[in-house]
Chain A
Amino acid sequence: MSPANSSPAFAEELRAALGPRLLRVESWQGREAAVVEPEAWLEAVRLLKSRGYDFLMDLSAADYSGFPGHQAPPLGVSLQLFGSGTRRRAWLKAYLPLEGARLATLSDEFACANWYERECWDMFGVEFVGHPHLKRLLLYEEFQGHPLRKDYPILKSQPLIPMRNAVDYESVAAARRAAADEDGLGRG
């Protein structure tokens, strides 16, 4: 396994600058993820950017509702930073509640944050405060809900034009739940 150029040093730098607003450091397979308070999101990113993590590699989220043993608020936003000169990676996370999930935008810091945040809004309903153009990216404006949240049923389609023999997702979902109970599939 290749050692990802992870540097725990970034977490130490964050701890020095943010103090208790760095909530904890998660460690997964040798890589560390610093969990910060949502209010300190922009500050933490600016600090890391000034320390050489000047490249936004990925910004996304995950819905941890129902995740075994998960204590923090359910919506975890994850940010992968990269040093274009140092070739080091930093991993930053913030946990938000499902209702009224808000986070400061990074679009002034990184040009590509614009689209990543639009996707995150589209899929998870995270509102990025100060974003210049926060609208849906992958789906369409008529779409209701945020599909990658765990409570969005996968079959619930929202057609724009009339569909013949359209599948009623409620009945299919009920049938699947029944089948799942029978064979112990669990998650249906």
Chain B
Amino acid sequence: MDIAQKLPQWKAGREDGFDIEPLYINMGPSHPAMHGTVKMVLKLDGETVVGSEVEIGYLHRCFEKTVEMKTWNQVIPYTDRLNYVSPLINNMGYCLAVEKLLGVKVPERTDYIRVIMCELSRIGDHLTCIGAGAMELGALTAFLYFLKARESSWQLIEEVTGARLTISYGRVGGVVRDLPANFAERWAWVRSQVEQNMEEVSVLLNTNRIFLDRMKGVGVMPLDRVLSYGMTGPFARSSGFDYDVRRDEPYFAYDRVRFDVPVRTDGDNWARYQVRMEEIRQSVRIIDQALAQMPEGPVRLEDPKVTLPRKKEVYSNIEALMNHFKLLMPGHGIRPPQGEIYSAVEGGNGELGFWLVSDGGDRPWRVRVRPPCFPIMSGVEELILGEQVADIVPIFGSVNMIGGELDR
């Protein structure tokens, strides 16, 4: 798409014959408003963007090549660092894909734990996205409030997983350990923190003239372009594409909890802000229900071909000891049958897909990640076309680009 289609009233040059050339500037790679590092080469006529080229790949850490050298379980720490704002969703999404490849099903309690942890991660993701976006518009207070709320959710995540950010909590066939005994009461505290800070931020932003002016009607993406660009997640839902993997192809225990999928049709920054805020509320709702419904039981599969035996048994009987070594020795371990799978979960930014190829060995032949923000980033050139330079900042903020998953 070029500028003549998007902004028909724009004319090259001036009518009085005084010829002006467009100005080319580099925004990035190291720019405060570029989350991570992205380079945008902008072609400007005055303040208006009349053309651009986005260059990515500054965080290409070779995830897909590296994990071909690792065993199936060793891939899990690498998946944490794909979308590092919501690492638990990547973890669980990968484990789900491997389990599908193996053809096993995890115990019911694990499904609920995974739902709870994924939603906790999603809350953190959206809080960070909105907070950072508001900060770039000068609303530092909103950022500090949301960081405080995120800090509380991180503390809870740390109590469960042992780490704040790079958690590696999922395992093929379950999760590492059960939730702590006081989880429900700790969650009540986190929920009060999140709700309180959301309320305060809503009051600060929702009727703020500056914020509204910079969000409403800016960075509009119509529905047909969203579909053509293959965009999913909150970004697509704010343009009217009512698709959520959690609802449409339920995995884990999402078919047993009730939640709404917020949809807006404006497709501008303001709609994206509203959708993300509403999704936080829905995530809170999901966690409440999941906690209430969660049955007692084991948190991982008791299958000697998939999960490690209990430590107590490893130390006391020979079968368990042999099983332990069989799963950990090079050349042994988990061996899914030869085959391929494409499995998707709803990540922080949309459909997070894993295409796994197994040759029947202990290492993946190929792990392909369908990063949700990749198609959205490919549409940024069109999104900022015809907008003002200063509006690139809120538009880019609402895209929620995550370098780790975009460049892998």
Contacts and interface: CB of A to CB of B under 8 A. Distances in A.
Contacts of A33: 340
A171 interface: no
Interface string B354-371: 010101110101101010
Contact of A147 (B65, B357, B378): B65
A154 interface: yes
Interface stretch (A40-48, A97-105, A132-140, A161-169): A132-140
Interface string B59-87: 01010111001000000000000000000
B341 interface: yes
A138 B407 contact: yes
B65 A62 contact: no
A84 B341 CA distance: 21
Given A78-B355, A140-B57, A154-B62, A112 B365 contact: no
Contacts of A31: 341-342
Interface in B315-366: 330-331, 338-344, 351, 353, 355, 357, 359-361, 363, 365-366
Interface string A146-188: 0110001010000000000000000000000000000111110
The secondary-structure label for the interface of chain A is loop
B341 A28 contact: yes
Given A84-B227, A84-B243, A112-B228, A68 B360 contact: yes
B211 interface: no
B36 interface: no
Contacts of A57: 230, 344, 351, 353, 370
A51 interface: no
Contacts of B341: 28-29, 31
B359 A68 contact: yes
Contacts of A63: 366
Given A140-B57, A154-B65, A56 B365 contact: no
Interface size class of A (residues with CB under 8 A): 35 or more
Contacts of A148: 64-65
B287 to A, nearest CB: 20
Interface string B103-125: 10100000000000000000000
Contact of A185 (B105, B230, B330): B330
Contacts of B344: 57
Interface residues of B, number: 55
B365 A62 contact: yes
A62 B227 contact: no
A37 interface: no
Contacts of A187: 69, 361, 363
Contact of A137 (B56, B64, B330, B368): B56
Contact of A138 (B56, B370, B378): B56
Contacts of A16: none
B103 A29 contact: yes
B259 interface: no
Nearest to B341: A29
B354 to A, nearest CB: 10
B342 A80 contact: yes
B160 interface: no
A186 B105 CA distance: 30
Contacts of A137: 56-57
B62 A147 contact: yes
Contacts of B379: 111-112
A91 interface: yes
Interface string B248-264: 11110001000000000
Contact of A80 (B60, B243, B370): B370
A115 B378 contact: yes
B378 A58 contact: no
B105 A1 contact: yes
Contacts of A56: 230, 375
A74 B97 CA distance: 24
B145 interface: no
B101 interface: yes
Contacts of A54: 227
A41 to B, nearest CB: 18
B31 interface: no
Interface of A: 1-2, 4-5, 26, 28-29, 31, 33, 54-58, 60, 62-64, 67-69, 78, 80, 84, 87, 89, 91, 110-112, 114-116, 123, 136-140, 147-148, 152, 154, 183-187
Shortest 5 CB-CB contacts between residues of A and residues of B: A138-B57, A115-B378, A62-B366, A58-B370, A111-B228
10 contacts: A55-B227, A80-B353, A111-B382, A112-B230, A112-B379, A114-B378, A115-B374, A138-B56, A139-B60, A140-B57
Given A63-B366, A154-B65, 18 more contacts: A4-B342, A28-B339, A29-B100, A29-B341, A54-B227, A56-B375, A58-B355, A58-B368, A60-B368, A62-B357, A80-B353, A80-B370, A110-B230, A112-B230, A112-B375, A138-B56, A154-B66, A186-B361
